[in-house]
Amino acid sequence: MIWKDAVFQALDAQKLFEDDAHRSRFKELTDCYAGASFFTKGLCKCMYLSCWDDEHFLIMLDMLNQLSLKANMNLDDMHENGELMAEEKTDYENHVMRLSCAFLMNQPFEKESLPEDLEPEGRYIIDRALEAAAVIDHVNGVENTPS
């Protein structure tokens, strides 16, 4: 089985998609980009997180299109953009963006560093993304396998 499909099935089996829209956005991104040279488990985790809503899905789609079209761009550029976006946010989105950056660079995210008064929606999104990341980490295979 192709790795991206195994990831999709594992996330679906664990009921980690919030709704049909989240599921279809994630499938669309992985179907389009799983064969790209820059596709990694970390990027796959970012995709899951970005597919939470249309706004972040479109941001991710734009970044992935740029990565595909510009030979001089790489995941470091995407990470830098994510850090800049995080700095602009003052609510829970700051922490969600920092989680995305940690995923992208394959770095640990210290959940204990979250403020106690973090908005419940933000805490929920982060918790679910960390659950999904653990599932993605346990799927065996090669990440960037063309469909």
What's the whole-number mean pLDDT along residues 49-62? 91
* Average pLDDT of the segment spanning 79-89: 74
Q: In this prediction, what percent of the chain has a pLDDT beyond 90? A: 51
Domain annotation covers residue 20: yes
Nearest of 30, 67, 47 to residue 147 by alpha carbon:
30
Please write the tens of the pLDDT for every residue from 19-41: 999 999 999 999 999 988 888 99
Contact between 139 and 2 (Cβ < 8 Å): no
Domain that holds residue 130: 3-137
Helix axes 41-50, 120-137, angle to 10 degrees: 150
Q: Does residue 102 form part of some domain?
A: yes
Question: In total, how many domains does the chain have?
Answer: 1
Does 121 reside within a domain? yes
Residue 143 belongs to a domain: no
Residue 109 · residue 130 · CB < 8 Å: yes
Let me know if residue 147 belongs to a domain.
Answer: no
Domain-located, residue 145 = no
Residue 104 lies in a domain: yes
- 142 domain-assigned: no
Spell out where 20-141 has E strands. none
